[in-house]
Amino acid sequence: MILPIYTYGQPVLRKVAKDIPNDYPDLEQFINDMYDTLDSSSGIGLAAPQVGQSIRVVVIDLDILKEDLPECEGYRHAFINPHIIEIDHKSEKITMEEGCLSIPGINEKVPRYSRIHVTYLDENLLPHDEWVESYLARVMQHEFDHLEGEMFVDKVSPLRKQLIRNKLRDIMRGRYSASYRTKPARK
């Protein structure tokens, strides 16, 4: 089932999401619904708060990027109770443009470190503890930020934030265009 994507201004996007127990009801169906929602919106990542659930679940599908990034071919994973344990501050800090399904029509350059240490459970509830690098590290940081109540616009320079302030206000008021189903903060 395709779920509506909550947009900027929705309170759930600013809450710290909770870890879930291994016996969380209908988890497999929820993950499938998140994948359906991600596929229908042509995104590469989606966190549970973006569909109105303040729980620590993320889905990432990088296969759409395989032409430009061959290492992304076939990469489609769910992350349950993910946490960034450590950021390698000695790794390269790369600034790239990011967008977000919850902030339609806005893309901004965001600096992120290229190597992080993460823990999570996979879809089979098997634990993982690993260092992640490169583009996947960027996507994980973006999506896992949602679980901490943060969004990529929080990481842009104060000047850029000032310049996009009116666009963010419009999104909060439901004045935006998106090719996917959304749930705005107000109409």
| 3-class secondary-structure state, position 56 | coil
67 contact partners, CB below 8 Å, separation of at least 6: none
148 is catalytic: no
Query: Half-sphere exposure of residue 82, counting CA atoms within 13 Å on the CB side?
Result: 30
The Cα 180–Cα 112 span in angstroms is 27
Amino acid identity, position 181? R
Q: Which of 28, 92, 97, 143 is catalytic?
A: 143
CA dist., res. 141 & res. 60, Å (int) = 12
Residues annotated as catalytic (active site), given as ranges = 143
